[in-house]
Amino acid sequence: MAGDIGESAYTKSIQTLIKDFHQPSDEVISLIKLAEQFFARAEDQQERLEGYEESLASALKAAGGDSKDERVVKATRRKKDLEKELEEARWERYEHVDAVCHKIIELSEGKDWQETQVLSAKYLGTFYLMSPGEGKNLPSLHQRMKPLYKAVLSVRLLDSLLKQGKVRHPLILKYYDPETRYFAEDKELSPFQKNIVVPLITAAIFQDVGLHHPHALEILKGKHGTLDEFRLLAKTERFDLLKTNIKQSHYFLEHGLGTRRYVGNSKAERDEFIEAQQQQLQFMLALLNDAVSLKHGVGNLLKIPQIYSSVILSTKKKNELENLPKAALLLQKLGNEKSIDPLGAKAMIDIVGIFPQGFGIAYIPKDQFASNPDRYEYAIVNGLNPPDIRIPHCRMVTRNLQFNSFGKNAFISRETNLYYPMARKQLAKLSKERLKEILSTLYSDIGQGEERELLPRFWHPYSFFSYKSFQNLWNKTDTSSN
């Protein structure tokens, strides 16, 4: 028996993270809700501020430049009160964003490189396994998930390029020290995490926040909000949407978030703090600028994960799971064409491999392969950085066609992985009755619907992962080859 349907503590944390980032209802004040509120009020607030500035200028002129004149004092107070109100709102948004960034780091990074790879695999795999892979609400769910998924890929890509000595950006190198890259013992963020990882995550999750500007929403949903935002847009609509997104995403980062508030009394410390904050802001804006240009600069830290994530967590109406392994091949193609940085593309592929985290592998067990195999088993991709991108690091989740929560890890070879034709040929002699028997045995165990193919190239573990007892796929265990 699979046990009870439910969520582990980690899965609950991911669910909460998604809600904190983008919750369509008003139950939670999500980051996207805060951004939408900012966009909705920005024009009016700017007009009010300009009006107060004009009133102050008029009062000063009428008072002959006397700053103590009652008219000048009142006009100055109104302007300062509004500026303070806007600053307080901005700082509040900043604190919300900072808290979400910290949560992403806590869920995806550990005390060193090795632990971070495991936690990041768990983070990415959990997102994938929480997606049903089909249904009318899938585009909306993926839209909420994708920025958070992409953010961790961006950081892992940066780490990989740093290890290879391929990063030249002065701000990144200023804070990078392999010895102090990760958490301290007390779970305090390291200087690199504070000054580089948090800005990178912020830029990643808000790369497309301009799509929530009123003009962008009107393009997507129509004036009355009745259109399908995931429909195929006309060429003029796409161009207008792209232009709006780029402009407003920049505007939100610069004016909606800006920099952290300084707390203290030291002028020297304050000046140093402000300079560091401005450097972080300029770093985020450079990430967004480079990501939409043809330059092979820091923007590839966003562009490459965005391309990959847009395949894995697609917002298209038809989500074809069998094509997900082609995401890495797409990066390879774009790298070869120099549309994206070739070094960055290769680094990303080396991190994720051909099969995404959480992807369901159907394979012939090793003990069957040498003889005449009469069954296949199931595994789930659960490890980053495979030695061979075509051979995924997996958790074997069935044994003798029974699901279990205590399987071991294995590298699934191309010869035994049913995604490849050479492996499927090994089972081609099995009768239709035997194949139906295998499916019936597997799916009766976890209550999943009928498989589309008698001899599947892969499987989708969504139903499997809905059971709490099956959600710990990343605990330490032995690893073999299959």
Cα gap 280→286, rounded to integer Å? 10
Q: Is the pLDDT reported for residue 51 higher than 50?
A: yes
φ and ψ of 260, to 5 deg: -70, 150
> For residue 54, what pLDDT is reported?
93
Helices marked H in 313-431: 326-336, 342-352, 366-369, 421-426
Q: Tell me how far apart the alpha carbons of residues 427 and 63 are, in angstroms, rounded to a whole number.
A: 93
- Triad 111, 13, 474: Cα angle to 5°: 55
- pLDDT range class, residue 241, cuts 50, 70, 90: very high
The secondary structure of 157-193, three-state, reads HHHHHHHCCCCCCHHHHHHCCHHHCCCCCCCCCCHHH
Mean of the pLDDT values across residues 413-418?
96
3-state secondary structure of 353: coil
- What are the helix (H) ranges across 264-410? 267-291, 300-312, 326-336, 342-352, 366-369
With cut-offs at 50, 70 and 90, classify the pLDDT of residue 281.
very high
Instruction: Say what the pTM is.
Output: 0.95
Q: Provide the 3-class DSSP secondary structure of residue 444.
A: helix
Q: Which residues pair with 362 in a beta bridge?
A: 378
pLDDT at 452: 60
- State which amino acid sits at residue 292: V
Question: Can you read off the two tokens belonging to residue 430?
Answer: 């099995």
Pairing between β-strand 409-411 and β-strand 398-399 as defined by DSSP bridges = unpaired
CA 37, CA 32: separation in Å to the nearest integer? 9
Whole-angstrom distance, CA of residue 115 vs CA of residue 109 = 7
Residue type at 474 in one-letter notation: W
- Tell me the pLDDT of the chain averaged across its residues: 93
Both structure tokens of 154: 């961006």
**In this structure, are strands 479-481 and 409-411 parallel, antiparallel, or unpaired?**
parallel
Domain ranges in the chain? 137-352, 360-481
Give the integer Cα–Cα distance in Å for 205 and 108: 15
Q: Is the pLDDT of residue 446 over 80?
A: no
Q: Do 72 and 168 contact (CB within 8 A), yes or no?
A: no
